[in-house]
Structure 1
Amino acid sequence: MIRLENINKYYQQGDSQFHVLHDINLNIDAGELVAIIGESGSGKSTLINIIGFLDDKFEGTYYYNDEPIHDYNRKDFSKLRNENVGFVFQNFKLLRDVSVAENVALPLLYAGKKRAEIKERVSEVLSKVGLAGYENKLPKNMSGGQQQRVSIARAIATNPKFLIADEPTGALDTQTSQEIMNLFKELNRESHTTIILVTHDPHVAEQCERVVTILDGHMIKDERNEI
């Protein structure tokens, strides 16, 4: 599904150039639950920005479903991103004063879906994440774990080909973190959703079937867990 070959990334700051990713080679198959683990500043966020079609300024080759996309322009990447990727963030990125249903409906509105179809799909995904009946709640009145469930519902509303979850448990307590991880594992197992989960937490990573370790911009390990 995703194949990166010899990916390098540089940032320019004034007269200085920083080499952030070094010759990354990575394959991710459809249906996998993969953790990318590394400390802050290791390059893992830069890597997922490339994987998720957010960054088109890199060196190397990127094949998505065997299609070479490394020479695509920004507009092409935007189209790929909108049609294929769902994002889940540490700080939820919800509109706190707008209802849960309206938050989840946003990507469906952007996709041009009809109102009746949107209402049905919103109810469906909220039920899937354990929030049936929460359509009219406001995120600002919900717990962190519930808000993260809303953000997951929003991410899967358009049936994306894969999810990128960037530190999705980072702002949650231990018990709530485990509940969110259980939800990711359930989505992966029952819906065969491909999930790329970025974390610095070994306990989160060990629950994924595969762990890719990034250190100082280098991919130093790619291991499978016995789950």
Structure 2
Amino acid sequence: MCMNCSIGIGQLLQKVEGLIVRSQEEYVNQLFTEDEELRSVRNSIAEAGMKDISVAPAYGRLLTLLVQASGAREVLEIGAFGGYSGICLCRGLGSGGRLTSLELNEEFAAQASSRLTQAGFGGMFQFRTGLAADSLSQLKEEGRRFDFFFIDADKGNYPLYLEYALELANPGALIAGDNCFLRGRTLDPEKNGPSVQAVRQFNERMASDPRLTSTMLPSYDGLVLARVNET
């Protein structure tokens, strides 16, 4: 077979695989549709002229399910954006549960706070603005402990956020990290920017740390999940 033919077939297979993945995601999105509350969050993000980087609808439902199934009472979110994931996390909390959300951008934090209040979760959440590393250090000094962590912020600091999560975790806590494929960049050996290297390090640590039992969901942009072992 000629080289040009081989390349052409390879490119064709990649396109076919891409179509299959997209069709799978479209199918999932059709099954697990957003309710009016979550659609309104996306609409408000668009109206504000912001690029929507909220979690996919099915992943939002997964966050609710994981918080609910684990019985988490203290949830820490690193990266609030417009409040979409915050609503999903709060929906999984039972009576007395609390969400602590860290957000660099004060405007984003204000919008997320407003959306959570409108969704009926007033009094169940606290926002801390500024550098997440500073807020995490403060939480450590305060002796705070958490049952669930959702990491969805600046990718270059993912390894640092994981280290703090391990220090702040109650035994049996769950840790979820979003965007672990970086739109395919973490899979591409020719991509080696700081964020790509940091996310690769995060993924490898989640997969190999003996303190964790972990897995990865390869749908959408990749979600890594881990449970902090109790011993």
Shorter-chain TM-score bucket reads 0.3 to 0.5
Structure number having the greater helix percentage: 2
In the superposition, the TM-score normalised over structure 2's length comes to 0.34
Over alpha carbons, which structure has the higher Rg?
2
Higher relative contact order (CA 8 A, sep 6+): 1
TM-score normalised according to structure 1 size: 0.35
Decide which structure has greater strand share: 1
